[in-house]
Chains A and B, each alone.
Chain A
C-alpha cells in the first residue's frame, strides 16, 4: 500500500509538472518577477543596440536609477528578435511571464487578442502619465482601434530614403521628391561596369517586404483589411502597390538581383555604407550601422520615402517598439511605475542616442543624430507621414503570408522569371485564403 501510494504521488506530481509546463497551471502561481511583495520586476527587453551585451550595458545604469528612485529592483533579460515572439507565446501559454516586456509595435493588436496583457485603461494610463504625453500616431499602435491599448510606445522608428551625397553630386542629381524621380535617379546611378546599383532592397526579408507592401498600397489609398477585420488583399491598389515595389528589381532594374537573398535589412544597409549602392530605404536606427561600416556622418542625407506624383503621401508605417505589462503580474503598481519611468522625457533622451530611436513623446527632440536636417526629416515622417500597420488580430498573419509571397516573387524575378499583375493578384489571393483559413 505504501508503495502504491508512493507511485500515485509520483504520477500525480509528474502530471502536475507536465500540465504546469504546458500551460495549464494557475496564472497566479508566478509573475516571474520574484516572490510576491518583494518589489522586484522582471523585464524582457528587445535587442535595440549593437548586441545583447550592448543593450545590457546601456540599460543597466538606467534601471539602477529607477531602483534608486523607487526602491523597485528590475531583473533584466535582453532577448534577440528571432526569439522574442516565441518567448512571448511561451510566456502567455505557460503563465510563467515577466512583468514587463518589449514588443514590436506591429504585433500589438495580435498580442492584445490573447487577453494576456494589461489594458491601459483610464487608471493605468493615468498612472503612467496620461495618454496626452505620447505622439498620437505612436499611441495608436498600442492595440485595436476603439479599445484600451495593451501596449504603449517606447522607441519610435520610421523609414527614410538614405542617399549618398557624393554619388548624387557626381551625377548632377537632387534628392528625389517623387517615386518617378527616385526611379529615374536610381537608373542613372546604376552603373554595371562599376558594380554600382541605384538601390539596395532587403528583398529576401519577409518583414521588410511586407512593410513596403503596406506603404506602397497606402500610397494608393488601399487597405489590407476591411472594417470587420477581414482581409482585402486582392484590391487593385494593393496589387499595383506590390508590383510597383517589385518593379524596382524587375522592370526598372535598379537593384541587384542578389538582393533577393537579403533576409534582413542589415545587408542592404551595409551595401549602402560601403558605397555599392546610391540609395537604401531603411529605418532611422540604420545610422549606427552605416557609420560602423565606414561611411562618415555628413556623407549621406535622408529624405522621406517618396510616393508617386499625386498619390497619398505615406512614407512609412509607424514603426517601433512598445511596452506591455502582463496581466498576471503580481506587481501591477510597480510595473506601471516602471512603464512611466521608461516613457518619461529624461529616460527617452538617455536611450534615444544609443538605440537610435525617435522620441515617442510630444514636442520631444530626436537625439539619435547630430544632423539636424536628418532628425527633422525622420521626426516629420514619424509624426505626419506615417500610418500604423493594420490594427487587427490577424496582423501577424498578414505579415507572414504577404511578406513571404513577396519573397517568392522577388526570387522568381531574380532567377529570370517574370511577375505580372495577375501573378501578384494570385499570390495575394493565396495569402488572403491562408489568413481566412487560420482566423
Chain B
C-alpha cells in the first residue's frame, strides 16, 4: 500500500480515485464486517455440527429421557443428577458395567496405540533408505488405510471364526494350536479387537512418521555415521528427538481415535459384544438405543468427554513443559 502511495502521480490520480471509490477501504461498514462475514459459514457449520449437538447432549444428560418421553423429548422431566448417579454408582449393575467397559477400553487403547506406533515406526524407518520396489511396498502398507473400514473388519470377522476361519487354519498348519481356539468370544475377544484395530491404525502411524522422517536432514545421519554411531544409536539420538513434534500429535490422535472407536467392535462382534470386548462407546450405544435410556446414555457420553478432555489437557501440559525444558 505504501509503495502505491509513493508511485501515485497527479496524472494517475483520477483513475486511482475511480478505483478506490469501488474498493472496500471506502466502505467502512463493509470493511468492518467482512472478516465476520467470511467467517460466518465456518462458525455456522461449527455450531450445527458440534456446538448445538453437544449442548443438546449435555442437556439430555439432565433429563429423564426414556421411551416414555422420546416422542416429545423436550417435555421430558428433569432428572437432576440422577443419570450421573446411576452411571457412577459402581455398586449398581449399570455403573459396574460402565466401569468394566472403561477398564477394557483403557487396556485396548493403550495396547493398540503402542502396537500401532511401534509397527508404524519400524516400517517407516525400514522403508526410508531408497531401494528397488520401495514404492510398491509403501503402497501395499497403505492398503488397510485405504480400505473401507467395514469391509476390512468384516473380513477379519470371517478369518477369526473358530471352525472355518483362516486364522485357526494357519495356526493349525503351523502346529501353533489345535485349531479350536475361539477368537470372537471369551477372553480372546480383546486380543482380536486389538489386532484388528492395530491393523487398521498402524498405517496411519506409518504414513505420519514416514512424512516426519523425510524432514530430517540426511547430513545428521552422515555425520553420525562418520562418528561411528550405529543404526540404533542414530535412531535414538537423531530420529526420535527430530520426530518429537510429530509423535506428540500422533500419539494423542491415535489415543483419541482408539478410545472412541465404535466401528471395530460393532462390525466385529455385532450388536452383542462379548464382555472382554465391551468398548465404552459401544457400551453407551447399547445403554441408549437397546434399552431406550437416552438420558443415562447422554450422561455416560458427557463423562467420557470430560475424561478425554482431562487426559488431553494433562498430556498437552506435560509434553508442553518437557518441550520447553528441552
Contacts and interface: CB of A to CB of B under 8 A. Distances in A.
Contacts of B275: 408
Contacts of B163: 256, 258
Interface string B277-297: 000000000110111110010
Interface string B60-100: 00000011101111100000000000100000111011000
A14 B48 CA distance: 7
Interface in A1-32: 3, 7, 10-11, 14-15, 17-18, 22-24, 27
Given A10-B44, A438-B293, A3 B37 contact: yes
Q: Which of B56, B70, B94 is the most central at the interface, judged by chain A CB atoms within 10 Å of its CB?
A: B70
A114 B29 CA distance: 52
Given A10-B44, A93-B73, A206 B67 contact: no
A407 interface: yes
A274 B299 CA distance: 48
A404 interface: yes
B225 interface: no
B182 interface: yes
A319 B290 CA distance: 19
Contacts of B151: none
Contacts, number: 125
**What is the predominant secondary structure among interface residues of chain B facing chain A?**
helix
Interface residues of B, number: 46
A401 B286 CA distance: 10
Given A93-B70, A93-B73, A411 B274 contact: yes
B41 to A, nearest CB: 9
B271 interface: yes
A299 B177 CA distance: 38
A393 B66 CA distance: 11
Nearest to B92: A437
Nearest to A15: B52
Contact of B40 (A10, A23, A114): A10
A92 interface: yes
Main secondary structure of the interface of A (DSSP, over half): helix
B205 interface: no
Nearest to A22: B56
Contact of B290 (A18, A113, A396): A396
Interface string A396-439: 11001101100110011011000000000000001101110111
B182 A260 contact: yes
A263 B271 CA distance: 9
Nearest to B274: A411
Given A396-B292, A438-B66, A438-B287, 4 more contacts: A11-B47, A114-B71, A261-B185, A411-B274
Interface of B: 29, 33, 36-37, 40, 44, 47-48, 52-53, 56, 66-68, 70-74, 86, 92-94, 96-97, 161-163, 182, 184-187, 270-272, 274-275, 286-287, 289-293, 296
9 contacts: A23-B74, A92-B70, A93-B70, A256-B163, A411-B274, A415-B182, A434-B94, A437-B92, A437-B94
